[in-house]
Amino acid sequence: MDRLKGNVAFITGGARGQGRAMALKFASEGADVVICDICSDAETVPYPLSTSADLAETRSRVEALGRRCVAEVADVRSQEQLDRVVERGIDELGHIDIVCASAGVHSFLPFWEMPEEMWQEVIDTNLTGVWHTVKAVAPHMIERGEGAAILTSSVMGKETGPDLAHYAAAKHGVIGLMRSFAFELGPHNIRVNAILPSVVHDKMGDNPATREWVFGRSDATTEDYVAATRNWHVLRGRAALPAAAIADAALFFASAESQHITGTELVVDAGHSILPGFNHTPIHDERIAVGPYPNDGVTVG
């Protein structure tokens, strides 16, 4: 229960979902936390984002665990806002040992229909926001000669899906950032690793807009969502994973148990990555031969 005793963690996207789960997990292990979140909706994101009430609830729950919590509204797209949060965290709590870049959003359109604003909102939040987050705390960690950075990518950092080119590009990019950060910060004894979650049961995944994208109908329910996500995993009984499962992985990377690990990707996907491929919507095209194939004069056998 004291794996992070004496540590301070800075977590973006901390008002709810995976960010909140990390804040509570770290606090339960003895850490004080600094959290921030946007606490307003985004123009091209088709579901509600966090609120000031969500941020206050996370702070209250951290404090109920006997730990201190600095909580501020901040947008990861703004380096100035993140720098301000980090400065306040260090002023009030003394130092920052752990940084978790957890803030993220998604939206859905084929890339050729996607307006510039939709592309940019996801890239600026999910990729540039990660750079801003680690950049805000890196000089402090370098000065102290230690630290741990944990970047949230996704299984989409290794694969793709329909209508998610911007999201996949950002999450692939996060893995590239992780490797670069680990390489540059290693001589300063700062570890940098990435978590690649599967589908997680939080408000980013389970909301009317996302369910409509998954099922192609507006009346899909949470029960439909949970049932469908069972097809996403290999391990028995797993539907969309709890946010706490991602927080457990973050705790490992934040603790001394991973003191010799940097530049790595930890996939938390209940076996999704080993599922064989399957095209659920094959298209028959009379123009394309499907066999027997002409041998073009080449003798086989």
Catalytic (active-site) positions: 167
CB 64 within 8 A of CB 33: no
What is the C-alpha separation between 215 and 34, in angstroms, rounded? 37
What is the C-alpha separation between 111 and 88, in angstroms, rounded? 40
